[in-house]
Amino acid sequence: MIDFARVQKELQECSKDIEKSGIKVTPKSDSSLSRLIGTIPGPVGTPYEGGIFQIDISLPDGYPFEPPKMQFTTKVWHPNISSQSGAICLDVLKDQWSPALTLKTALLSVQALLSAPQPDDPQDAVVAQQYLKHYQTFVGTARYWTESFAKSSSLGVEEKVQKLVEMGFPEASVRSTLESVGGDENLALEKLCSG
């Protein structure tokens, strides 16, 4: 049986310092507290900076003795997060979970994971390989994904693609170039022009 009184307290506590932490937890629906949505801002100084990432949270019956299940719903390019499913590889969500932790501290750990990838213990082997072998490409891709999927306000990637295609560049190379420069339209144009 989930300890809902505790979940309630956690939600209250978390909403108190939203300004400071930027971390939000809200119930998915009014009827139940077992499904929640967490939101974390991408850490400053990382390819995730400026992005807002959504995480699907579901509480198992044994919560808080069992860890909350967390999964990114925002697509993210990171060695410890599946680029397909959003599954997160993080010790505190598994055997290092303790009832002394909370949804907020768990989300803080996820946020810290964005700052400090552990490619030696990957969730997504493709991303991890890229991180280890072609670090700059990794940074570019991660930034591009942040631009494309974690930013709702900025100009959408599709619009950038369309703009560049209209200038006469082939779509495939527009996409790969945009990706390689992390979604920056001007850099992509420069690169496309220089051949």
Q: Does the annotation mark 193 as catalytic? A: no
125 binds other proteins (CB under 8 A): yes
Among candidates 73, 50, 58, which has minimal Cα distance to 103?
58
Annotated catalytic residue, options 14, 89, 110, 113: 89
Q: 59 to 88, contacts with other proteins by CB under 8 A?
A: 65, 69, 82, 84, 87
95 binds other proteins (CB under 8 A): yes
Q: Which stretch binds other proteins (CB under 8 A): 5-13, 31-39, 153-161, 181-189?
A: 5-13
Among candidates 139, 149, 127, 142, which has minimal Cα distance to 52?
149
Closer to other proteins by Cβ: residue 62 or 156: 62
35 binds other proteins (CB under 8 A): no
94 binds other proteins (CB under 8 A): yes
Report the C-alpha gap between 128 and 82 in whole angstroms: 10
- Tokens 């909370």 belong to 102
Question: Residue 116 carries which side chain, given as an amino acid letter?
Answer: A
Report the C-alpha gap between 185 and 172 in whole angstroms: 15
Report the C-alpha gap between 184 and 144 in whole angstroms: 8
1 binds other proteins (CB under 8 A): yes
Task: Tell me which residues are annotated as active site.
Answer: 89
